[in-house]
Chains A and B, each alone.
Chain A
Amino acid sequence: MMGGLQRLGRSALLFFERLGRGNLFLLRVLAGLPSLLPRGHLLVQQLYSVGVLSLLIIAVAGLFVGMVLGLQGYYTLVDFGAEESLGVMVALSLVRELGPVVAGLLFAGRAGSALTAEIGLMKATEQLSGMEMMAVDPVKRVIAPRFLACVIALPLLAAIFSAIGVMGGYFVGVGLLGVDDGAFWSQIQNRVDFFDDVMNGVIKSVAFGFVAAWIALYEGYDAVPTSEGVSRATTRTVVHTSLAILSLDFVLTALMFD
């Protein structure tokens, strides 16, 4: 009984200690962002690494998600004679929910895990310590550009995901199933609101980018500097980021679309 209580207490203490370290880490990263101003090339390099290199998976996934939405939506709507609303159904689903969420989950798997592994290995091979001893703050030099790149890249990737998804829905609905072309686009134009739908989706993806970057970079920075430690940290990044994105999505949706 006492052993169980002790273990519970120890786990709780470790959890809160880690949470506290994570918050302090985030504060250091945010404080380091202004130092990027004179060193834009670091940000551009990371935008390429986390953004451009994630494009393919985002585009392909967006296309198929849009196509599935087109198919499923059509089969449901056609029973009510409302297949002209297919465009707006696909567009709203993507812009409000699936774009930010699925792009966020894919981003966690593709870029987040890579960031954790990269930072964890830099720690294991003493590259971060080496920088500190050269009087270069690794949080400013290595972490901050990656963090900002994630926060900028994910909304752009989510937008691309949604746009390609709509094209996928169009291809299936209009191209294969015979939904009226004009109705597809005009319904989107009429019913998708720029602020309520598009901007809320953008806000979601910025929040997801923030959380994904924070978790991935902290897991790498705090990883036990061994091959097993880095492997565990990488797994934790994908699991924690996915859960964080899904739960945060619920909270944001409840706040935005009440």
Chain B
Amino acid sequence: MLEKNNSMDEVVVRIRDLHFSRGARKIFDGIDLDIRRGQVTAIMGPSGTGKTTLLKLIGGQLKPQRGTIEVAGQNVHKLSRSKLYELRKRMGMLFQSGALLTDITVFDNIAFPIREHSRLPESMVRDLVLMKLEAVGLRGARQLMPSELSGGMARRVALARAIALDPMMIMYDEPFTGQDPISMGVLVQLIRKLNDALDLTSIIVSHDVAETSAISDYIYVLSNGRVVGHGTPKALQETDSAWVKQFVQGLPDGPVPFHYPAPDYAEELLAGGES
């Protein structure tokens, strides 16, 4: 038990003073985050707060203007390309679109990273792929093409592919967006169960508050390039922060206004003229 607690305290991803801009638009303005081993950590916030960008920064696909991101003790943006690729073999990522290769079957999609990074005989590749597919409940769909899959199935296949190399952590980019209730329920369960069964560390980027809170150990809430709140799901429900309250409870008006900034309504109507 003590050992388990120690491993929980270990920080897998450490982000310090992260600044990132796209052109003149500031996405992150000095954020600090810790993702702990074995936990499911959610990063939440409204659309356009840079949640996906954060995952790309952690994966080394984007470079910050300032600040550091350490994954497993290594500064991601100081690594050579080959070292970064070595690190990425230990990081799975589930893209919002699934990002399956559309010209090969489900089986070949999952076999893809295994074949690329190992010299295993085909019989063993087959067994590994079937094991991964069994874990997500799609062993029977292995000969289908990605275009034949429903949205939920495509995401489960992508999840099977993300765990193909037995990574230490998985990043989920909006895993619940556009899912029907059954698919959503399946994905929610899978993420939690896989995290615990495979001793993974999971980062979920999402704005689906209820589903994400249900399986998260810890939540960071982002807004305007900063962390505006963090804590366990229970602590965030009871927070005093007006912003976090608005987001978590889904209130239409609050610190994030309902109206896009505009001149005074009455004045504008009376002024007349063209649009």
How far does the Cβ of A221 sit from chain B's closest Cβ, in whole Å? 14
Which residues of B71-91 are within 8 A (CB) of A?
A: 81, 85-86, 88-89, 91
A-B contacts at CB below 8 angstroms, number: 51
Provided the pairs A129-B61, A130-B93 are in contact, do residues A135 and B117 lie with their beta carbons within 8 angstroms? yes
Partner of B85, one of A127, A129, A137: A137
List A contacts of B61 (CB < 8 A): 129, 132-133
Q: Is the CB of B89 within 8 A of A135?
A: yes
Stretch from B97-105, B192-200, B222-230, B247-255 forming part of the interface with A:
B97-105
Q: Is the CB of B99 within 8 A of A127?
A: yes
- Taken together as a complex, chains A and B put the C-alpha atoms of A129 and B99 apart, in Å, by 8
Provided the pairs A133-B59, A135-B89, A137-B85 are in contact, do residues A126 and B95 lie with their beta carbons within 8 angstroms? yes
Which residues of B162-186 are within 8 A (CB) of A?
A: 165
Most chain B beta carbons < 10 A, residue from A130, A132, A137:
A130
Q: Mark A116-148, 1 if CB is under 8 A from B, else 0.
A: 000000000111011011111100010000000
List B contacts of A133 (CB < 8 A): 59, 61, 88, 91-93, 95
- Taken together as a complex, chains A and B put the C-alpha atoms of A168 and B86 apart, in Å, by 56
Question: Does B113 reach chain A (CB closer than 8 Å)?
Answer: yes
Partner of A125, one of B93, B102, B113: B102
Q: Is the CB of B85 within 8 A of A125?
A: no
Q: Is the CB of B102 within 8 A of A127?
A: yes
List A contacts of B95 (CB < 8 A): 126, 129-130, 133
Q: Is the CB of A125 within 8 A of B99?
A: yes
How far does the Cβ of B74 sit from chain A's closest Cβ, in whole Å? 14
List A contacts of B116 (CB < 8 A): 134-136, 141
- Taken together as a complex, chains A and B put the C-alpha atoms of A168 and B129 apart, in Å, by 54
- Taken together as a complex, chains A and B put the C-alpha atoms of A137 and B113 apart, in Å, by 11
Q: Is the CB of A134 within 8 A of B102?
A: no
- Taken together as a complex, chains A and B put the C-alpha atoms of A125 and B81 apart, in Å, by 23
- Taken together as a complex, chains A and B put the C-alpha atoms of A141 and B56 apart, in Å, by 21
Q: Is the CB of B97 within 8 A of A125?
A: yes
List B contacts of A135 (CB < 8 A): 85-86, 88-89, 113, 116-117
> Which residues of B come within 8 Å of A, CB atoms?
56, 59, 61, 81, 85-86, 88-89, 91-93, 95-97, 99-102, 112-113, 116-117, 161, 165
List 3 A-B pairs, minimum CB-CB distance, nearest first. Answer: A130-B99, A126-B99, A135-B85
Other A-B pairs beyond A133-B92, A136-B116, 10, CB < 8 Å? A125-B97, A125-B99, A126-B95, A129-B95, A130-B101, A133-B61, A133-B93, A134-B112, A136-B112, A141-B116
